[in-house]
Amino acid sequence: MSSKKLISLSITLIVVLLCRSVQLEAQLQVGFYTNSCSFAEFIVKEEVRKGFMRDRGVAAGLVRLHFHDCFVRGCDASVLIDSTPLNTAEKDSPANNPSLRGFEIIDNAKARLEAVCKGVVSCADIVAFAARDSTGGLGYDVLSGRRDGKTSLVLETLTNLPAPTLDANQLTQF
């Protein structure tokens, strides 16, 4: 197995473990949208597939986007929040900009979901579903029911994101 695949698999595993650890706090569950927006996961998967057809590299970008979101304030989609004149957000951190990818896929999925289930599916869950769906054949259940964060601070990326020089063991400990 190549080192890039091993690192990608390690990061995916860490994100899955992070999501599972949040379950105790938020009462997350598989199939959270079954009754309120039954096509939610399908719509996200379809948007990921479309994005992959345009750019195969976006798959790793979606996993990284989820990874960076979960390490800062938990998996709350705070990485999607735009900066304002009074606040520089996570999205504009040197650790994220211009290297984070996949925002357009999340935006497209959210727009489609708003058209059929207005105000139901959180951006945080869309990011989690997209990360899962970007792994191709590595399907796994995603606990959902997350709520979107309202705060995004660039400073928190500097203190909460692991350094890019860490190896798999160090990332696991972090």
- Express each pLDDT in 101-152 by its tens digit: 999 999 999 999 999 999 999 999 999 999 999 988 678 999 999 999 999 9
pLDDT over 80 at 83, yes or no: yes
Q: Let me know if 66 is a catalytic residue.
A: no
Which one from 45, 64, 68, 146 is the annotated catalytic residue? 68
Dihedral, CA of residue 59, residue 167, residue 76 and residue 42, to nearest 10? 30
Q: What is the pLDDT of residue 39?
A: 97
Select from 4, 152, 9 the least CA-distant residue to 90: 152
Q: Which residues are annotated as a binding site?
A: 69, 72, 74, 76, 78, 90, 162
Which residues does the annotation place in the binding site for Ca(2+)?
Answer: 69, 72, 74, 76, 78, 90
Note if the bond before 98 is cis, omega within 30 degrees: yes
pTM of the shown model: 0.83
Compute the mean pLDDT over every residue in the chain, rounded to the nearest whole number.
88
* Torsion on CA atoms 133, 172, 72, 96, rounded to nearest 10: -70
